[in-house]
Amino acid sequence: MATATAVIWLSVLVRKVATHAVPGLLMISALVLTLQTALVIGTGSVLLFLLQFPLANMALCVLFAWTANTRKPLVAQLAAEVVALRQPSSHHPGLHRFFQGATWLWAGIFAGSTVGLAVLMAVEPIKVFLLLTTIVTIGGAVAGTCLSVLWFLRVLRRSGLSVRFAQA
C-alpha cells in the first residue's frame, strides 16, 4: 500500500509539472489511498484497519461538500475529465445548479455510506462487514450514477441543451 501511495502521488506530481493541472479523479484516488495507507501502516489493529472504509467515505463526503457551492463543483470537474463533457461557452445557470446539486447528492451518498458502514462495522462480524461493504459501495455508486444521469437528462431537456463531447 505504501508503494501504491507513493506511485499515485508521483503521478499527481508528474501531471502537475507536465500539464499544470491534476484531474479530480486522480486527486480523489490519491487522498483516499493515503488515508487507507496511513491507517494500515499506523496500526496493527483489525478494527482500525476496518475504519478505512467509513473514513474513506467520510473523506469523499467532505471533498464533494467542500466544492458543491463553488464555481467549479466536483461533479462538473469529473464530468469534464472522465467523459470529456464540455459546458456551454456562456454560463448556464440551470446547468450550474445541476452540477452543484449533483455534487451535494454525492456528498450525501458518501455521508450515508459513512454512517451505514460505521454501524455495520459495530454490529457485524468481519467477513459479513467486508461483504456488506462491497454491496453498500457498489449499490451507492449505481444508485448515485442512475440518479445523476436521469437528473442531468431532465435538466438538458428543460434547458434546451444537447450533449457534445470534446474532440481528442
Distance of alpha carbon 5 from alpha carbon 145, whole angstroms? 27
Global pTM reads 0.74
Q: Which residues of 6-33 are buried (b: 16+ CB within 10 A; e: fewer)?
A: eebeeebeeeeeeeeebbbebbbebbbb
The pLDDT of residue 37 is 82
Instruction: For the chain, give every domain's residue range.
Output: 1-42, 46-159
pLDDT in tens, 52-108: 789 889 989 999 999 999 988 999 888 887 776 666 656 777 888 999 999 999 999
Residue 89 phi, psi dihedral angles, 5° rounding: -65, -35
For residue 30, list its beta bridge partners. none
Question: What pLDDT is attached to residue 90?
Answer: 61
Give the separation between CA 88 and CA 72, rounded to whole angstroms: 14
Q: What is the mean pLDDT of residues 29-55?
A: 80
Give the whole-angstrom CA distance, residue 61 versus residue 74: 11
